[in-house]
Structure 1
């Protein structure tokens, strides 16, 4: 296993060229690129440029619309439903968050559900859009069914991530961005690329037995909810995942549960859909709708300081503030570049050859 490091600008140009080859308008290509690069910069390697080939394959299967007419199809003063017209979730979700933010500017909060979309990258990108406006940002999405509910050995839910982001003062934003499964599918993909086993508690085989095989999903197995099993609280992860699924899809008119279309192109969507595409849910709340924004940020700074100074079991380890590792990765990688494993580099260069664009260099 070998890592190669690329300057952010090189990866940004390469990624934009891929989206342009898919037929995306330039503004959409820039936005989609920004979402993916944010993931790589923040150290969430499973959701960055490593996903490019997947988007291209779905586009080739005509399951991603490169030129969507993204629009609001239902709304009130503080709520809306957006139809993504089968577009990249990397473009659709920011559109929806902008709608939520504009409503929040006027009414204090804005809430937007989305149908007919696709994979939207890291949830943190969309929540941080609200933070830039001195708002609390909330984003979540359902995903293709890979997770078995507590006691089941049938895939009925996605990894269904959720994110809450809060602006601080002297500290970076506090960002809680997590899958509601024991592990995101992208972590299995990283283990597959490196040839490493996965920790026990992440997945089970088709019979419901614990498995450390990173290829288990391809063999009829499933991911487990956050908590792994009932004795360790998997019913809580299952409940969180169900909440994401309902807000993202049952509320918007997207597909939910086992009907969510798969992200991989070699698997066809269900023939009996209950909605349209993948669903998201996004929200923005003005802090000054509750108290002066600076007061909130001063007190969140105090909260962070207290937690950072907490007594720990191991004196060499400090309490981690949500979002802190990702922020540190971003500062480091903007200067030192973004590392990509050789398997990903080879995949991207094969993609470049197929699309007729310059390879990574």
Structure 2
């Protein structure tokens, strides 16, 4: 299944609502979640990861696929392997705290998988919050950490609000610019509710995540206007323009639609993730693709992340908060709609629906991704997906 209905809106797992609904031309193969999980673990083991790290890294990727965020799931596995082959990912990192106070810390990821480094840092923030009410951890010398939502949701399991963000390789032009200076720089806030799933605000600060353009390229589909511009700064709906020297646009698309706000949010992520931690920032962030070399004159170490955990009972009793967040959810769900057939969607609701559906019916992958993974299996000597 490539789409589900949530509150009258058809959500496609590859991108935003009501985009690419003509996906019938795309070929999908559905795999049971345990099969993909086992395959992914075997790949990480072949990279030299410990069993614990391979299990954790696979869990982060599979959670992305389960939640319908296909651009950050197993489709990214080939990219991690290529970076490892180039010596840019350390499969056996010595992840350590290099600066610390009771409520804050900076972690050096030792060039490890961000899929492993990020949970280490978030769990550290949670442990600090258990003692002092809140914990804040910045990270340097890391790599791509998967979906931000995975890490923020760790805090909600402890009646805490979770915050996670990361900078990324420069693909986004700031408002008024025609130069790649920022990454898609996602941020996520997760809030535990009572009888409902957590409210999860997980988003890129660009108009679209690069992974969505990659999926569009594989599918041979156009992208919506406002996502990207060509090398001359002109709006483009061609997802291949990014490879041709173009750039993504900040959230808002252009100056007439609030792109300065997306620029400001992206700047915030970059500063907290990297300027604060000692990681590379702005145009110096190393690229995720292996064929592009990192800057010869870096200003920091690796990619940077930032995490926060706040105990709800540091502000009010947790049960009171969750009761009122349930009420908040119901109030917004019942808002008077423009279209009677479509109610308000609560942040995180489509991802929860996908997770419930895919856990039962399996995870669909487009055939191009399956081919990439089977080629990877042959190269590494693991069993192919079939």
Report the TM-score range of the alignment, normalised by the length of the smaller protein.
over 0.9
**Distance in structure 2 (CA, Å) of the matches to 1:171 and 1:81:** 34
Distance in 2, matches of 1:256 and 1:191, equals: 27
Paired residues for 1:240-251 under 5 Å: 240-251=265-276
Aligned counterparts, 1:90-109, within 5 A: 90-109=115-134
Q: 1:279-306: CA deviations, max 9, x gaps?
A: 0000000000000000000000000000
Q: 2:329 aligns with which of 282, 304, 316?
A: 304
SS of alignment partner, residue 365 of structure 2? strand
Q: Distance in 2 between matches of 1:326 and 1:243?
A: 25
What residue is the counterpart of 1:275 in the other structure? 300
Compute the displacement of 1:69 (Å): 0.1
User: Is it true that 1:118 corresponds to 2:143 in the alignment?
Assistant: yes
Does structure 1 residue 317 correspond to structure 2 residue 342?
yes
Question: Among residues 9, 13, 17, which one is paired with 2:34 in the alignment?
Answer: 9
Alignment map for 1:64-103 (pairs within 5 Å):
64-103=89-128
User: After superposition, what is the alpha-carbon deviation per residue over 1:160-187, rounded to whole angstroms, capped at 9, x for unaligned?
Assistant: 0000000000100000000000000011
Q: Distance in 1 between matches of 2:253 and 2:75?
A: 27
2:383 alignment counterpart: 358
Task: Give me the TM-score of the superposition, normalised by structure 1.
Answer: 1.00
1:284 match: secondary structure: strand
Separation of aligned partners in 1, 2:221 and 2:79: 22
Q: Give runs of aligned pairs for residues 188-337 of structure 1, distance below 5 A.
A: 188-337=213-362
Q: Tell me the number of residue pairs that the alignment of Structure 1 and Structure 2 aligns.
A: 361
Distance 1:126 1:146 in 2: 24
* Corresponding residue for residue 194 of structure 2: 169
Deviation at 1:339, TM superposition (A): 0.4
Unaligned runs of 5+ in 1: none
Matched position secondary structure for 1:219? coil
Aligned to 1:185: 210
Corresponding residue number in structure 2 for 1:28: 53
The runs of at least 4 aligned residues of structure 1 exceeding 4 Å deviation read none
Unaligned runs of 5+ in 2: 1-25
Counterpart Cα distance in 1 of 2:123 and 2:360:
29
CA RMSD of aligned residues (A): 0.4
1:215 is paired with a residue of what secondary structure? helix
1:62 aligned residue: 87
Q: What CA distance in whole angstroms lies between the structure 2 residues aligned with 1:2 and 1:243? A: 39
Deviation at 1:109, TM superposition (A): 0.1
Match of 2:374 among 332, 349, 352: 349
The separation in 1 between residues aligned to 2:334 and 2:218, in whole angstroms, is 38
Structure 1 residue 114: Cα displacement: 0.1
Match of 2:364 among 339, 346, 360: 339
2: distance between equivalents of 1:216 and 1:26?
40
State the 1:257 CA deviation.
Answer: 0.1
Find the aligned partners of 1:192 and 1:207 in 2 and give their Cα distance: 20
